[in-house]
Every structure is written in structure tokens, then in C-alpha cells.
Amino acid sequence: MATIVGAITTSHVPAIGGAIARGLQDEPYWKPFFGAFGRAREWLEEVKPDIAVVVYNDHGLQFFLDKMPTFAVGAADEYRNADEGWGLPTMPPYRGSAAFSWHLIESLVADEFDVTSCQEVLVDHAFTVPMQLLWPSGCPVATVPVLVNTVQHPLPSPTRCLKFGRALGRAIESYEENLRILVVGTGGLSHQLDGARAGFINREFDQMCMAKIVEEPDALGAYSIPELVELAGTQGVELLNWLVARAALGGRVSRIHSNYHVPISNTASGMMVLEHRS
Amino acid sequence: MKRRQIPGTTVFDGAQARKGYALNRMCYSFNDAANRAEFLRDEDAYCRRFGLNEAQRAAIRRRNVLELIAAGGNVYYLAKFAGIFRLDVQDIGAQQTGMTKEAFKAMLAEKGK
């Protein structure tokens, strides 16, 4: 059977991709962010995943507002990146695993999560930037994009995302092949790009979330979406992707590594490496 | 349902999505470099093609992000419009808060201390 080797959560803002493209990782502005990924890469070398299930939100590359699925799952053998309009280099295609994806979709729907299945997904920076951070010289694993609507309200509640994550975990672990699966949750932490409150950051709330997500993720289920918007910012609601990834891991977890740094671009950056605790 | 009011914040909900549909659809088209070039070649014709209303057309003309949001714009789509002029989210943040970009970046850096 497939096993979940752990979860990595990380910010995904386009400026990270821009810094990678310009080779700025060791600049004083960026070092406190990029420096944290060495330990994550060492851990990946140890746990050797075969597939990464990447939980993220699209930002208007794949989905327009004509149809907006709450939860969507990629079901292809390849995923392409494309121009998003503001200058990031387009990344080479990512390998998928349609057979594994369809198993996830069948299991999730049987588990009462009626996801949108997608035989084509254009993956945006929220997928490609984390893959670049984890594997700078190219993504060696197959991938499954799992998309959560954090763009157009109503958004799924934190409680719903925790339940979805648990169902995703059950789906992964019921796959018959002996594959090693990494779950990645991208986005956050607190930030707001739009409105007169642009530049909003909430260090205290972020750090509380990073603590609770390890020991007591259900406590974060108590927040409503409007409360999350107020406390984390209009884009800080990407915390939902972290909740899905954490819940997929299930049970008790250990924090292998974590980092929190303000600011990168307009964002409070966070990353965590989590694995099962026996 | 009573909406929670958060200062300086517009939640992009169904009402905003309906109001901003034409504007966001135009901005979504800017994923394509040929469309970005076409907008620059003939802005009026491009906006007409997408059926922008007067408020949206004026906000596009003024390159004003707060007005674009008031007209139903979603920031992820507006970012593609800003990209045409090589403006990033820190330029947008500075404009919306009435700061220079340097001051906006310094404000963010201060939060890291």
C-alpha cells in the first residue's frame, strides 16, 4: 500500500520564483527565506518520495471565474505551466500519474468529497515555486495538483478543509502500489495584496497557526472564513491549503523543521516539514 | 447574511464576482502575450471588446487599483493588468496605500523586526 512520508508546507509567492530566476537566493533580503530549505531537501533525500500531492490555489491561470470548483484534482500524466502575465519564466512540464490521480478521485468521491476531476491542469506559480524550492535542479517525482478555491468566496471553511485533508489521506493510503507519497501545502502565511489594508501582516496569528497545526489542527477549524480574512489577510486564507496538507498526514505529527520570516515581497513567509509520530 | 466589515478590505464574493465579470475576463486574457500587446496597441477597442462598463473603463484608464477593486476587479486578475506595465504587487501595494514603493517596502521590512 502507499504510505505518506510526510508533509511540507511553504509560501509560494511569485517573487520567490523571480528571485530564483535572477539567482538572488543568497542575497541578504532572500537568505533568511531560502536558507531554510536546505534541511527540507536533506529530509526529502532521506524519505525519498515517489509522488508529490500538491495542495494549492490557482490564481487565474487554469480557472477563470466562469467555473470555480471548490476542490479539484488533476488527473493527467503531464501538467504544463504557462505565462501568467507578469514575467516569471515558464517552467518545463511536470510528470503526473493519471492512474494514481483517478484512484484519489474515486476514493474522495466515495468519501463524499465530490471533487472536480481535471484531465488538463495548467499549474501556476503556487505549484511551480514550491517544486523549485524543494527540487532546485528539476522535479524528480510525479505530481498530483489538488486545487482549493481561495479566490472567490464562499470558500470552504477551515473545518471542511481539515475533513477534506483527512479524506485525501485515506485516499492516498488506500492505493495498492507501494509508493511513497509527499503531501505539499502551499501559500500563506499572512498577507494582503488588495485594498487600503495592503501590506497587512499578523506575526502573532501566523505563529499561533504554526504551533497549532502541529499539535492541535482542529483548533484552527474554529475560525470562520471572515475571521481568517481579518486575522491573516485576504490572501492569508491560503492557510486552508496548509490545513488540507496537515490533515492528510493525520494523527500525531512531529515538526522536523520550520521557518518563519517577514517579509518576502508583501508576505509573511512560513515553511514546515512534518512527519508522522509513532 | 450579515457581512463582517474589515477596514480597507473588499471580500471577493458573488456580488463582486458579478459586478467585475467583464473586467476580470479582460484581465484574464492578459495571460496571453499577444493580448497584452493588443491592449497596448488599441486600449479603447480592447476594452470595448470585453464590454467594460464606464466605471471599469475609467479605472483602467486611470490605472487605479482601488477603483478597479471597487468596480469588481479581483487582485489576481488585476495583477495581470499591472504586469503589462511591469508593475508588481509592491507597486500595487504602494499605490493603494498612498506610499512610495520604497516606503511601502520599508513598512513591510519594519514588520520583520
The whole-number average pLDDT for the span A52-68 is: 98
Going along chain B from its start, the domains and CATH numbers come out as: 14-85 (1.10.700.10)
Of A269, A273, A275, A274, the residue nearest A239 (C-alpha): A269
Residue identified by cell 520567490 is: A16
Of A65, A83, A193, the CB nearest to B92: A193
Instruction: Please report the pLDDT score of residue B1 as a whole number.
Output: 54
Measured between CB atoms, does B12 come within 8 Å of chain A? yes
Chain A CB contacts of B7 under 8 Å are 196-197
The structural domains of chain A, with segments of one domain joined by +, span: 3-276
C-alpha cell at A255: 515538526
Of A230, A235, A268, the CB nearest to B4: A230
Chain A CB contacts of B22 under 8 Å are none
Instruction: Please report the pLDDT score of residue A217 as a whole number.
Output: 97
Instruction: Please report the pLDDT score of residue B113 as a whole number.
Output: 87
| Distant-in-sequence, close-in-space partners of A85: CB < 8 Å, separation ≥ 6 | B30, B31, B36, B79, B80, B83, B84
Q: Is the pLDDT of residue A23 over 70?
A: yes
Instruction: Please report the pLDDT score of residue A278 as a whole number.
Output: 74
- Rounded alpha-carbon distances, angstroms, from residue A129 to A87, A257, B64: 14, 19, 29
A228-258: pLDDT as tens digits: 999 999 999 999 999 999 999 999 999 999 9
**What is the four-CA torsion angle of A35, A41, A42, A47, rounded to 10 degrees?**
150
In this predicted complex, what is the ipTM? 0.96
Give the count of alpha carbons within 13 A of A119, CB side only. 0
C-alpha cell at B69: 477593486
For chain B, 113 residues long, the average pLDDT of each consecutive 10-residue run is 83 98 98 98 98 98 98 98 96 97 97 91
| Distant-in-sequence, close-in-space partners of B26: CB < 8 Å, separation ≥ 6 | B46, B47, B50, B52, B81
| CATH number of this structure's domain A3-276 | 3.40.830.10
C-alpha cell at B64: 487605479
Instruction: Please report the pLDDT score of residue A76 as a whole number.
Output: 98
The whole-number average pLDDT for the span A31-39 is: 98
Please tell me which residue of chain A has the smallest CA distance to B106.
A263
Mutate to test the interface with B, among A22, A66, A84, A86 (most CBs of B within 10 A): A86
Helices (H) and strands (E) in chain A, counts: 10, 10
Mutate to test the interface with A, among B75, B81, B110 (most CBs of A within 10 A): B75
Instruction: Show which residues of A are catalytic.
Output: 125, 191
Q: Is the pLDDT of residue A204 over 80?
A: yes
Residue identified by cell 491592449 is: B39
Instruction: Please report the pLDDT score of residue A189 as a whole number.
Output: 98
A260, β-bridge pairs: A270
Q: Is the pLDDT of residue A40 over 80?
A: yes
